[in-house]
Structure 1
Amino acid sequence: MTEALPRILVVDDSRMVRSSIIKHIRGRFEVREEGDGEAAWEALLVDPAVQLVLTDIGMPRLDGYGLLERIRSARVARISSLPVLIISGEEDDSARERAAALGANGFITKGSGSAELLSALESLLRLAQTERELEASRAALARQSAIDPVSGLVNESYLKWRAEQDLAYARRHGANLSVLVVEIDRFRELVERHGAQVAGLVGRKLSEILASRVRSEDSVAQLSPAQFVLLAHGSELAASCAFALRLQQALEKLVLSYRGERIGITVTIGVANSAVDGLASVSELIGVAVGRAENGRAAGGNRVFADRGEVSEVSLASARRELTSIDAVLRQLQRGDTEAVAARLPAVIAALAPLLDLIESRLGCDIPLSRLKQIDKEAGVAGVNGGAVHPMP
């Protein structure tokens, strides 16, 4: 059985140029040809056999730069990792630098001989094959290890396994499991402006920040270049929202520098909670958090969204004054976590106020109700003015 030839997508608005290229490489490669970047993009979406893209720069509808940007920012891994060779009549350094910044693997001028063209194509295909084999080895290693060797975060398989365990525990013990979906705002614009390499560095920086801010019992995984998921075991919704808001505000102040240009980073975070949302599976819980992150992006990004819409300092202060789960407080006391309960005493007092009123009216125990209510009132004012919040009790 004859082995299939590697398929190359040749993109140029000149039929003569395409014919010339095909003539040079006939017999060594199978060729699919398109006349502009838009048609080439559509071909890549439906043709998984393409192993390399050879494209001109100046074309109608979508030029070579635009095609390259789309390829590198594609959510489909087989497309985003394709080797791309630019072939153009433009020989100035600025064209080469721009192509390289956008993620081109090579640049060759029109009119180059067959030997040079074939050498460039074969070299890129060998490199791509080696990278695929390395990725396969890395994936196999990742399946055996909980930690992704690139990001340093847990891998997706472990995250799903751990999430199911945490959710089952939460149901058995009446505890909480919160899911935070963290998405880098305007990630595609970041790729288009600075290139896939810089966007990847931004993602790795966010990985480091997330890994350094979570508790040992929490899990963080990267689901895509722009999307991360955090599982917060035992964290109530209000505490998770407080953590998400602080994370969003901290990243808003972070500025990276690349080649003298300052790059700001913002994130949008969607928060879901097993006790509040009452969903049957972890996939559903993550899906709800993703939907809330989408709502945040639609509102302009750089926001935190939960079950009641956008999360703010004011809404958090209000939530802290709402009914506190006395069962949860008692469980904390049974575990010996008195400091965490002490930090929430005003909210506990507010939750118990109706019961204390009833006890005092029936039994006359001289409970200092006025003083307790004053403590609750003072705590509410402190919360609005930036009082401390303990995100992950």
Structure 2
Amino acid sequence: MSQPTPFEASAMRILVAEDDPITRKLILRTLSELDQQVLVAEDGQEAWEIYQRERPELIVTDWLMPGIDGLELVERICAANAERTLKPYILMLTAKNETADLKAGFDQGASEFISKPFQPIELIARIRVGISNQKLARELEQARRLSEQQALTDALTGLNNRRALLELLRVDEDRALRGRQPLSVILTDVDRFKAVNDDFGHNTGDQVLKVVSDALRAGVRSGDHVGRWGGEEFLMLLPNTDLIQAAEVAERCRALLTRQQVQAEDGRMLRVSASFGVASADGVARPDVMELVSQADRALYWAKEAGRNRVKIYVASADPERRRA
């Protein structure tokens, strides 16, 4: 009974729940004027099962049905969407016209009512209003998600920005603690980046940052996170990864970068390199991600001191500041 009618990919899904065959046939004939996918249920139980499986955006339901009636169906559907931003548009058909009944329907989550018997032109008009509302809700939700994504994305490189990385650090810190898993951080700094900006201009500097971001994105594994930490500095967050594995990822990224060149605005070719600092928590003690970042920063400093374009791992015994403490 739930076979969809032909529809375009952008069509709305409309669930019709009506136990009376004559009324159901009238509804379907009326809805055939619209280019939408229609799912059909002969009672409330079947409608609920279809809803859970298909998640239609619009529901047309009778109030009085055997088993699960329209009011209970509305209650279940609204409860299933309590945490969702996009909620279905629910149109109830009923011969009830008492204010208390209509209030009960609205309280459960119905969007609109049509009194029985109804005119097809009225049903079409109400459905079109529902479709318009749902399309607008879709657009608003897409705009909201895009805005959230942009707020967490570095505009130049398309990577996670610092705000996004801080949130990912918190999430992976909690996950590592619960699973007693290792967690590693890699800090990367573009070598002699100030000289690139001074000698070749900021447009060339931006191209260098894009090349670095592409190499880091290619060098990390599925499940790793990479983002721009600030300026010419990038951070990689590697869940469930020990120090040796993280160093291998850093070396792979470094090697990828050494094969990259950037053409300056004056035509000269620049070779790109970066230094990497790696730190890891073993999964035994609670990982402190900001301490990991600090340790990776120390290792990055050692890589710069050793001549740049290399990977250094943080070892506490090699840290003079740690020894002094």
TM-score after normalising by structure 2? 0.48
